[in-house]
Every structure is written in C-alpha cells, then in structure tokens.
C-alpha cells in the first residue's frame, strides 16, 4: 500500500495539503503524443548537472507495480511516470519511461496513491479526485459526481473489492457504484491550538483479520472491526498522535510511524518533541491492555519524522527515518542503509516518502528529491535515464 507523506518543513506541509456515479471525463492515453512532448521542467532543487539526466520528479510520493509488471511512479506536480521494462528506450511508442498527466485524462498532476482492482483497472488518488484507468481511457470522480472529499491522500482496496478513500477531511467508502461518507469518531484528547492537520487521513490499511486501521495526523489511529472503533493515541503508547503510516508484520503486530507534532509550532524554538516508530502487540487475553514498544536507542527512530514503513515479501520491515536513512528490520535487529552513490544528492535523500519491492526483488525508494533503488548496501539514484537495473 502506497501512500502520501509530506516532507521536511511544516510550512511546506500546509502549503501542499491545502493546495452512484457516472463516467464524466474520459480521454485516451496516446503514448506517441506523450513521448514527443517536452518533459515538464524540474524545479532547481533537484536538477542534476547539465551533462546528466534530470530527476523523475521532485517528490516521489507513490510507487506501484501493476499485474503486468509496469512500474508507476507518483509525483507531486508531474503526474504519474510509467516505466515499462519490456519497452526499449527510444522515441514514440518505444519509449520506456513516459509521463501521464492531465492532458491524457488524469484528474490532477499530483498522484499520491495507486491501487489495482481485481479486473486490472488502476486507481489513482490525486489532489483533485479519483482517476480510474482501464488501460485505454480514464474515468474521473470528483465533487461533481459524488466524491465529496477530493483532496485525496491514500487509497485502499479491501479484500471484498471496496475502495476506501482517505482524504483531507475524512474517509469515503466506494462500492463501485456509490460513494458513502464514513464518519470517524474523535478520541478524547487535546489538540494543540496551532495544529491544523487533525482532519488529514494519512493512511488506511486492512489487517490479516479484516480490521480496517485508519491513521490521522493529530488524532492518532483507530481500528474498525466492522462494528465499532477502538482508538490508539499517545496516551496509549504511540510516539505521537500525528500518524503517518501503518503496517502489519507477519506476527500480527501493528507498526505505526509518526511525525513530531511540535514541528507545526509557530515558535521555531519549540519545534521539537516526540515522534518516530511505535510497535503495537495485540493482547491475547481479556485485559485489553495495550502493549506498545518504542525505539529510543536507534538514531532517527525516536523524536523524529518517519513517513513510511513497508513490508517486503520475506516479511522484512523497511522504515524511512527522516535525515537518517533507511532501516531494515528482519524481526531480530535493525540495519541502517544510508550510503548514497552520489554524495551531492544526500540532501535529496533526506525524506523517504514511498517504498516498493518489485517482482524481481528490487527495492525502490521514493524521496523528497527523486527516485532511488537499493543495490547491495548502496542506494542508487535513478534519473529519467536510469539506471533501472
């Protein structure tokens, strides 16, 4: 499950976050047309030297590989980049990497979440609604045709095929025909007066038992078992109430990443506090005691912003620690990867926004500054020209 995580600066956070249905807006993707268009200019913060290829995007906030093996890369301003390894690099329909944007029918050029349904349709969560792509055309859903909350932050397609849409303002449930609001109760906690992110739904997952977990940046997390809600907040053991990501490990433990709420404080001298990684171990008895574990002894996993956690096919957890690097947890110990192949790009690697293991076992890393790939113990920058292998 892929998700959108804002990086680095509180001011940037606020800037980016505010920036029965019929098919309304459809258009056909033309690969040839896209390949012959000039690429959108990349902001100078991530420009490569003039003799090198440009970065794929400034913020890589979503990564997904579909059932055909195509890699989809969600960006903050350039739409979604599509990399098909079976196509040779070249021009026209033979171009391996193309950008799909609003000109092709996408709802918005900020693509923050990508999912595929059982029929092979791709769903893109954007900042102007939901886009469904059947391989030829787009169907877009927004406020005009039933989607009340269209500033989307994450998507989940559950085991029954229903789509859960997390957005700025709450959650919407879509059964394929009708959008239904899904009201969330609030826990009994005090929200700082300066905080404006409590209605931001940052993550939705389904665990192995069929429970739906929902994370919010301000109200912690809640578990919905199909009937009732159970809240988890800092009072229960979370590192912070500003949840960013949720993952279940192979033992049934639930892991939460969070950011430092105090980063939103208007006084720069007070922008430090609790945040980081938390592990929840469900109880097996009837005491209802919550068992949380935090990791203060590990650099970057405590009192820090962590946007992303991901479980690979072997069950390893990968945790992106802001300004620290990428941790791998194999169930016994944590291993840190932070060796970049190009030291001049260290700043671009500062915020890990998205993670994906592809079908060949490659680990892709979307950052605040471009796309990367783990190669052995090194982290390789992948530009528009690769290297893809």
| Cα–Cα distance list, 277 to 1, 212, 240, 274 (Å) | 18, 20, 9, 10
Domain 10-382 in this protein, CATH class: mainly beta
Q: Which residues pair with 114 in a beta bridge?
A: 124
pLDDT range class, residue 89, cuts 50, 70, 90: confident
The confidence score (pLDDT) of residue 345 equals 74
Distance, CA of 240 to CA of 261 (rounded, Å)? 7
Query: By C-alpha distance, which of 61, 72, 63, 57 is closest to 135?
Result: 72
From its phi and psi, is residue 237 left (phi > 0), alpha (psi between -120 and 50) or beta?
left
Structure confidence at residue 86 (pLDDT): 87
* C-alpha span between 299 and 150 (Å, rounded): 37
pLDDT band of residue 93 (cuts 50, 70, 90) is low
Q: What is the average per-residue pLDDT within 220-238?
A: 97
- pLDDT at residue 87, rounded to an integer: 85
Dihedral-angle region of residue 336 (phi above 0 means left; psi in -120 to 50 means alpha; beta otherwise): beta
Residue 167 contacts residue 160 (beta carbons within 8 Å): no
Residue 56: exposed, middle, or buried by beta-carbon count in 10 A (0-12, 13-18, 19+)?
buried
244-302 tens-digit pLDDT: 999 999 999 999 999 999 999 999 999 999 999 999 999 765 555 669 999 999 999 99
pLDDT of residue 344: 76
pLDDT band at 28 (very low <50, low <70, confident <90, very high): very low
Domain positions in the chain are 10-382
Torsion of CA 142, 147, 151, 152, to 10 degrees: -110
Lowest mean pLDDT among 86-95, 238-247, 306-315: 86-95
Question: β-strands 325-329, 317-321: how paired?
Answer: antiparallel
d(CA 142, CA 150): 6
Strands 291-294 and 212-216: unpaired
Averaged pLDDT score across all residues of the chain: 86
338 neighbors 379 (Cβ within 8 angstroms): yes
Please report, rounded to a whole number, the percentage of residues in the chain having pLDDT higher than 70. 83
CB 132 within 8 Å of CB 176: no
Q: Is the pLDDT of residue 38 over 50?
A: no
Distance separating alpha carbons of residues 319 and 313, to the nearest angstrom: 15
């Amino acid at each position: 499950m892929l998700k959108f995580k804002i990086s680095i600066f509180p001011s940037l956070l606020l800037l980016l976050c505010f920036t029965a249905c019929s098919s309304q807006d459809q258009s056909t993707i033309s690969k040839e047309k896209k390949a012959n268009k000039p690429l959108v200019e990349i902001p100078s913060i991530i420009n490569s030297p003039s003799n090198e290829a440009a970065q794929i995007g400034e913020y890589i906030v979503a990564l997904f590989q579909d059932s055909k093996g195509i890699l989809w890369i969600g960006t903050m301003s350039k739409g979604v980049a599509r990399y098909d390894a079976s196509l040779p690099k070249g021009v026209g329909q033979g171009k391996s990497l193309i950008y799909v944007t609003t000109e092709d029918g996408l709802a918005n050029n900020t693509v923050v979440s990508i999912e595929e349904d059982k029929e092979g349709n791709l769903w893109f969560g954007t900042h102007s609604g939901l886009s469904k792509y059947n391989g030829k055309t787009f169907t877009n859903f927004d406020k005009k045709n039933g989607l009340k909350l269209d500033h989307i932050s994450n998507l989940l397609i559950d085991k029954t095929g229903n789509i859960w849409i997390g957005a700025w303002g709450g959650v919407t449930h879509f059964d394929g025909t009708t959008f239904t609001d899904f009201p969330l109760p609030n826990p009994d906690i005090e929200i700082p007066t300066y905080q404006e992110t409590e209605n931001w739904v940052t993550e939705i997952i389904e665990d192995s038992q069929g429970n739906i977990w929902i994370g919010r940046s301000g109200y912690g997390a809640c578990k919905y078992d199909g009937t009732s809600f159970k809240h988890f907040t800092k009072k229960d053991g979370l590192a912070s109430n500003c949840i960013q990501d949720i993952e279940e490990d192979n033992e049934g433990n639930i892991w939460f990443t969070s950011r430092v709420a105090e980063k939103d404080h208007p006084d720069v001298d007070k922008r430090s506090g609790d945040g980081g990684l938390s592990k929840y171990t469900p109880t097996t008895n009837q005491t209802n005691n919550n068992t949380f574990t935090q990791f203060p002894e590990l650099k970057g996993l405590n009192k820090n912003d962590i946007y992303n956690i991901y479980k690979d096919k072997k069950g390893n957890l990968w945790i992106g620690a802001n300004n620290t690097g990428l941790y791998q947890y194999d169930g016994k110990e944590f291993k840190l990867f932070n060796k970049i192949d190009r030291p001049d790009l260290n700043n671009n690697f500062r915020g890990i926004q998205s993670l994906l293991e592809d079908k060949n076992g490659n680990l892709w890393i979307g950052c605040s500054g471009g796309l990367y790939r783990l190669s052995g113990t090194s982290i390789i920058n992948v530009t528009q020209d690769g290297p893809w292998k």
